[in-house]
Structure 1
Amino acid sequence: MAEADPSSFASPGCCRTHHLHLRCRVDFASRSLRGTAALTVRAERDSLRRLVLDTKDLTIHKVVVNKQDAQFVLGERHSFKGAPLEITLPFELGKGQDVVVEITFETSPRSSALQWFTPEQTSGKRHPFLFSQCQATHCRAVLPCQDTPSVKLTYYAEISVPNELVALMSAKRDGDLPDPEESTRKIYRFIQNVPIPCYLIALVVGALESREIGPRTLVWAEKELVDKSAHEFSETEAMLKIAEDLAGPYVWGQYDLLVLPPSFPYGGMENPCLTFVTPTLLAGDRSLSNVIAHEISHSWTGNLVTNKTWEHFWLNEGHTVYLERRIGGRLFGEQFRHFQAQGGWRELQNTINTLGSTNPVTHLIPNLKEVDPDVAYSSVPYEKGSALLLYLEQLLGGPDVFIGFLRAYIQQFAYKSIDTEDWKNFLYSYFKDKVDLLNKVDWNAWMNTPGMPPVKPTYDSTLSNACVALSQRWVKVS
């Protein structure tokens, strides 16, 4: 029996969702989404009669299983996990059998995943704006689902919005057509054929325009920001090509960027086919483009190979920071890569000083039983994780040797969700001639001990020394 996800009510060991067909109406007046989520679910064991899904602040109107009405009950509300939706199937399922579970639902205006902006909160000041943020466990506040990264699904969506607005999702665009029920609205369609975890389902609706900045990249923004955004992110294709050279083929087809209103609370979010970025990156000189390199890297580490539960979040973020810095090294030289990595080590020290060196959330693999992943969130999985990978790179033969491992790792686990044990077993099998070196690594200290790592990687300090020397000259002058 697979290890359960402490952040979800779903039981993937019993059944798994393979596909979602989402139909919904975006209603700015009531700040809600209303529609149906049709989940194609496969039984993982015999005699299946019950299905449990995650929900949070959803109203469930009806459940139909293969066109038959099904009984359902919403369980007791948990402080951060929401409430389990328990569905009794009208018939028994055998192992390997598929069933379509269609749920009619409505979101709450207080949905933790949906941010509704008034026109005054946008750049254009004329139209409202909506965007979603489902990572880590908020897709359940958009639609009923198995909201665990251990489950991956494809999806098709039909989204009804007012005529003057544009809808985009973390998927390829599949055209639009007039809404047959309301002449003032249109329906946008989307298709995502690469299986993804639910936290990567994303939706945005606003007065958006696009500019082409590469053969597979559009940048989307309100018209006030779109040209500035196109200039800022013009290096995207060059970064994509370097990432493919390092990590393997880009499987998602399109790589678009969406510049959000100023209140977007993250640097970026790696939604497939449509990276969300903050307008605070619009520096005018492309100096903050490393955030784009980070989100591009997630196309391989995180989106293609995914942490099985949020306790193994470092697999997503540590590898992505490592890959982001390898892209920076290709663009600006190895000294630059080490300059960034050294800055990351300082960031890790600051975080651990703030959280406390004995705080259990500073473990590389924290225990999240009854802990909200949002509360445990910090730079630890990013910087402790990437420091471990840099340390292993230096231990096992250098950058060229280690990128070979990373490519093989991505190829081995593409389209899957894994935990640290899977990663470590593959590391040992890939470097089977260097097991004696790997056995010298204090794995327990790295993975399961709070505070700073047991070993500090070796950094090339050429660029940071130049910065320190320059600052000293300023101090003397002042």
Structure 2
Amino acid sequence: MSDPCSFSAPNRCVTKHLNLSLRLDFDRHVIRGRVELTVEALEHRFSSLTLDTRDLKIISVKANGQASVFTTGPKHSFKGTPLDITLPIELSRGQHVIVEVTYETSPSATALQWLTPEQTAGKKQPYLFSQCQAHHCRSMIPCQDSPSIKHTYYAQVSVPKDLVAVMSAVRDGQDVDPQDSSRVVYRFRQSVPMPSYLIAIVVGALESREIGPRSRVWSEKEFVDKAAFEFSETEAMLKTAEDLAGPYVWGQYDILVLPPSFPYGGMENPCLTFATPTLLAGDKSLSNVIAHEISHSWTGNLVTNKTWEHFWLNEGHTVYLERMIGRSLESEQFRQFKAMGGWKDLQESVKTFGADNPLTNLVPSLEEVDPDDAFSSVPYEKGFALLYHLEELLGGPEVFMGFVKSYIQLFAYGSVTSEQWKEHLFTYFKDKVDVLNKVDWNAWMFTPGMPPVKPQYDTTLADACIALAQRWIKAEKSDLDSFKKSDVKVLSSHQLIEFLSLLLQEDPLPLTHVQKMQQVYDLNASMNAEIRFRWLRLCVRSRWEEAVPLALKMATEQGRMKFTRPLFREVFLFAKYRGEALSVFQAQRGAMHPVTSGLVAKDLQVDASNTSSL
């Protein structure tokens, strides 16, 4: 099958290994690179191959050491530019060729974010990080940029000697750069085959701390000790995941906490999970994001969706596994509670896209669709809902986890489609085919909107949140003295997040109510970003003027889009402070990630033409 998001014809040839030499130029914001691709022919008389590129300057191409003719095709809006290479020889099926491409990235490469010192926590050194998912690796390396192609890689990275480089691979030593004594070359090897979107690099003023027998945390020194405390349960999560899914094959499992401007929650790069500093709550309460990224070591990284149309295979199974880890470490009720929250996220996504939007299909068609535009909680939560529904039909969590484990074993080191997944499901449960035949597969996979079945989740942990939210919604002014600090003392931070989420679904509370809530619960003191984010939105909605500077401070001190965009929007909608929202944004945009500043500019209806960072 072909991949609608790639030019590289994975049915004609496959890349088996990449050998990378990268030299980072922080002054020009470019990487000068050389990549040697070991390519295997899948057809007879194979004499030309196409690689994916985006905004790369191609300097030279060789095949087996001989100069090769190459041409670049027309530029596509999101796929970039095909690089067509004519080989000097014809290969038979199964034969290999080593293709060497020398190139340079563009300063605006979509995979790379070059941060100025002011955008980092330390404010002294520049910083670079990559984000290749879904189809951005081609702006960093000419490659077969399709998740159907999995390869090993080896890399050498030359950086200024004050900086440290890490990659989604095992560290393999460092030396002074033989060509320039003011630089250091770091070496890496990844011996487990993986797709191109998981190649990742970070360079900055990094330190690390050991947090387990196979884990370290990496970050700027401002965050490193906090991160070591926050993620100290990583080994327990890894062991729990191994008990559920089988051995962890990647060797090292490190976590890298990025500067505050990192726009996402986490990214599951092998051997080196990326995490936002907003997870550093001080009480380990947001470490379930790490359980999610750990789960990807099996579902996504070991077994990969063949194309982005089958993204739910990565994310639905990962959410399922993450919640099974939660079940082991906490309780079944905790898993049910998290699943309820996920269903709410799914409703929100379906509402945002529109219930008849084909991008809300579990398996959407991405013919001429940018996979970034399709990204939402649908593959995560509609995928989880299908797996949970099957679990209920087929005999419960232990029975269904047996299937998930056998699916991982069968397809390990490969890439898979929804059809192959379904075939294995029918084979594994061959004595329950009559049950599986009653599932409305078309409604689940190829129909937009909410799933055909709404799971009934256990509400034990949610009941206390619902009851407290209802008390506040119904309270008259004269009832406010009935609220006590003990109301929230009995709630976990997860329940407190749910309580505030429920209030955000209702009409704004009277100002007297949120002021009383602060007086008795002191939510301003919370260090948990998820709690703080919802609380400040609630206050601004109730037109509490004292909350406006706190909301804008949170919107600009970190750049995770999940928080920054809604906080700016809330203040912008408070007519009296609209100008304040705009002036704070204009003052801070230089320190923001370009993706974030571009989207906030749209949210605040700022003219894009005067946007320096778009």
Same fold (TM over 0.5): yes
Query: Which of 466, 470, 473 pairs up with 1:468?
Result: 466
Task: Give the aligned partner of residue 163 of structure 1.
Answer: 161
**Which amino acid in the other structure matches residue 55 of structure 1?**
T
Deviation at 1:470, TM superposition (A): 2.1
Cα deviation digits, residues 432-454 of structure 1 (max 9, x gap):
00000000000000000000000
Deviation at 1:472, TM superposition (A): 2.5
Q: Percent identity?
A: 68
SS at match of 1:456: coil
Query: Is 1:150–2:148 an aligned residue pair?
Result: yes
Task: Give the aligned partner of residue 116 of structure 1.
Answer: 114
Deviation at 1:350, TM superposition (A): 1.1
Task: Give the aligned partner of residue 429 of structure 2.
Answer: 431
**Which amino acid in the other structure matches residue 178 of structure 1?**
V
Task: Give the aligned partner of residue 137 of structure 2.
Answer: 139
Query: Which of 323, 335, 338 pairs up with 1:337?
Result: 335
The CA distance in 1 between the partners of 2:301 and 2:242, in whole Å, is 14
**Which amino acid in the other structure matches residue 258 of structure 1?**
L
SS at match of 1:468: helix
Task: Give the aligned partner of residue 416 of structure 1.
Answer: 414
RMSD (Å) for aligned C-alpha atoms: 0.7
Deviation at 1:323, TM superposition (A): 0.5
The CA distance in 1 between the partners of 2:342 and 2:393, in whole Å, is 19
SS at match of 1:10: coil
Task: Give the aligned partner of residue 49 of structure 1.
Answer: 47
Task: Give the aligned partner of residue 256 of structure 1.
Answer: 254
**Is the 2:3–2:10 Cα contact (8 Å) retained in structure 1?**
no
Task: Give the aligned partner of residue 446 of structure 2.
Answer: 448
**Which amino acid in the other structure matches residue 389 of structure 2?**
Y
Query: Which of 59, 68, 71 pairs up with 1:70?
Result: 68
Bigger helix fraction: 2
Deviation at 1:13, TM superposition (A): 1.3
Bigger strand fraction: 1
Q: Given the two structures, how large is their TM-score scaled by the length of structure 1?
A: 0.99
Cα deviation digits, residues 450-478 of structure 1 (max 9, x gap):
00000012211111112111222344344
**Which amino acid in the other structure matches residue 196 of structure 1?**
M
Query: Which of 212, 215, 225 pairs up with 1:214?
Result: 212
Query: Is 1:297–2:295 an aligned residue pair?
Result: yes
Deviation at 1:123, TM superposition (A): 0.6
Task: Give the aligned partner of residue 368 of structure 1.
Answer: 366
SS at match of 2:420: helix
SS at match of 1:23: strand
SS at match of 2:285: coil
Superposition pairs for residues 348-367 of structure 1, below 5 Å?
348-367=346-365
Q: Given the two structures, how large is their TM-score scaled by the length of structure 2?
A: 0.77
Deviation at 1:7, TM superposition (A): 0.2
Task: Give the aligned partner of residue 90 of structure 2.
Answer: 92
**Which amino acid in the other structure matches residue 282 of structure 2?**
G
Deviation at 1:331, TM superposition (A): 1.2
Task: Give the aligned partner of residue 286 of structure 1.
Answer: 284
SS at match of 1:341: helix
Superposition pairs for residues 259-274 of structure 1, below 5 Å?
259-274=257-272
Cα deviation digits, residues 14-54 of structure 1 (max 9, x gap):
11100000001011001010020000000001101110000
The CA distance in 1 between the partners of 2:434 and 2:465, in whole Å, is 39
Task: Give the aligned partner of residue 407 of structure 1.
Answer: 405
Give the gaps of 5 or more residues in structure 2: 481-614
SS at match of 1:326: helix
The CA distance in 1 between the partners of 2:447 and 2:287, in whole Å, is 33
Cα deviation digits, residues 48-68 of structure 1 (max 9, x gap):
111000000000000010010
Deviation at 1:417, TM superposition (A): 0.2
Give the gaps of 5 or more residues in structure 1: none
The CA distance in 1 between the partners of 2:314 and 2:308, in whole Å, is 9
The CA distance in 1 between the partners of 2:471 and 2:358, in whole Å, is 41
The CA distance in 1 between the partners of 2:123 and 2:274, in whole Å, is 20
SS at match of 1:35: strand
Deviation at 1:261, TM superposition (A): 0.6
SS at match of 1:239: helix
**Which amino acid in the other structure matches residue 374 of structure 2?**
A
User: Which has the larger Rg?
Assistant: 2
SS at match of 2:48: strand
